A = this chain, B = another copy of it.
Amino acid sequence: MNRTASIKDVANHASVAVGTVSNVLNYPDRVSERTKERVLRAIDELGFVRNDAARQLRAGHSRTIGLIVLDVGNPFFTSVVRAAEDAAALQGSAVLLGDSGHDAGREANYIDLFQEQRVQGLLISPVGDVTERLDLLRERGVPTVLVDRLADEEKFSSVAVDDDAGGYLAARHLLDTGRRRLAFVGGSTSIRQVADRLQGARRAVKEEPDATLEVLVSEGMTVLAGRSVGNTLVERNREDLPDGIFCANDLLALGIMQSLTMTHTLRIPEDIALIGYDDIDFAVSAVVPLSSIRQPTEALGRTAIELLAEEVEAQHPRHRAVIFTPELVVRQSTGTPSAN
């Protein structure tokens, strides 16, 4: 197996200098048509492919951006990744994707790997408290943008979604469609997202003097957890039931929907309206299509890349925190009771 051709081989094969081959690749205008043609033919015949290592060694930096997410399987991140890749491609960079899987060790490995690769910068959705590790990156001069996490604006730029606003949107929607006895279902409020969404819901409920908000804590944020909450609800007396439920994510909502529709004593949305959070694929194809709060993941990914570009270009980086507002998606599960 012959090793891959280098620019020198191409130069020999086309009987020109190496500098000329380089010019054909990087500054085609500087080269005459005749030579350009000859060089391109040589490149083709030898199957030459640029060696990026040599290129970036000379350049001092790569054309890649590192992106570390908590879980590529999570549709939220999948969508962010797509958008980031597309935005990076527009500015001629490629994205190296790392999946930490919520594991600090894996995350550390990727940070090291990307640093050795001399990525232009790093987008990261960090595992827990990584301030220490990230500070190190900052010292080393690796431009970094935090994704889906707010940061000390002195130190980092960041993009995030306003969960408080999302919670407000959801609760406000339930109130607007006439519900007054609301319930919030979520896992532990020690999860920042859950706490914020609840806080936003509280804010909305306070706007209506006759509205109440009950908080139900679930065991985790899964379909099964939702179903077990739902099962406790169906056992209640009719008059003790909420008439609108806001779940901290769609899985919980789907679980509750399962238990309510299975028993057939309570109808959605006539007796109880239900709204989730995240707008996962399954929301639209649930037995009763689920209303939800959609996060602007495309904007997140795109903006993260843009902020990173700012960091790279600026000499004295002014960090910025960009916060997006999520969007209400109305489906049948919160249809106005009167409308049915």
CB distance from A63 to the nearest CB of B (A): 9
Given the complex of chains A and B, what is the CA–CA distance between A81 and B49 in angstroms?
27
Within 8 A of B (CB), among A250-296: 255, 258, 261-262, 264, 282, 285, 287
Contact status of A72 and B62, CB under 8 A, knowing A116-B49, A140-B49: no
Which of A94-102, A153-161, A329-337 is found at the contact surface with chain B? A94-102
Given the complex of chains A and B, what is the CA–CA distance between A13 and B98 in angstroms?
34
CB distance from A43 to the nearest CB of B (A): 13
Given the complex of chains A and B, what is the CA–CA distance between A255 and B94 in angstroms?
39
Given the complex of chains A and B, what is the CA–CA distance between A293 and B255 in angstroms?
23
Contact B97 A97 (CB under 8 A): yes
CB nearest to A1 among chain B residues: B141
Contact A115 B49 (CB under 8 A): yes
Contact status of A222 and B285, CB under 8 A, knowing A62-B53, A81-B99, A97-B99: yes
CB distance from A14 to the nearest CB of B (A): 19
Contact B4 A140 (CB under 8 A): yes
Given the complex of chains A and B, what is the CA–CA distance between A227 and B282 in angstroms?
13
A56: chain B residues within 8 A (beta carbon): 53
Question: How many residues in A have their beta carbons less than 8 Å from beta carbons of B?
Answer: 55
Contact B82 A51 (CB under 8 A): no
Question: Does A28 make an interface contact (CB < 8 A)?
Answer: no
Contact B54 A57 (CB under 8 A): yes
Task: Return the CB mask of A296-332 against B: 1 if under 8 Å, else 0.
Answer: 0000000000000000000100000000000000000
CB distance from A49 to the nearest CB of B (A): 5
Excluding A57-B57, A72-B73, A282-B282, 6 further A-B contacts by CB distance (< 8 Å) are A2-B141, A4-B118, A51-B57, A53-B56, A72-B72, A81-B99
Interface residues in chain A, defined as those with a beta carbon under 8 Å from any beta carbon in chain B? 1-4, 47, 49-57, 60, 62, 72-73, 75, 78, 81-82, 85, 89, 94, 96-99, 101, 106, 109, 112-113, 115-118, 136, 139-141, 222-224, 227, 255, 258, 261-262, 264, 282, 285, 287, 315
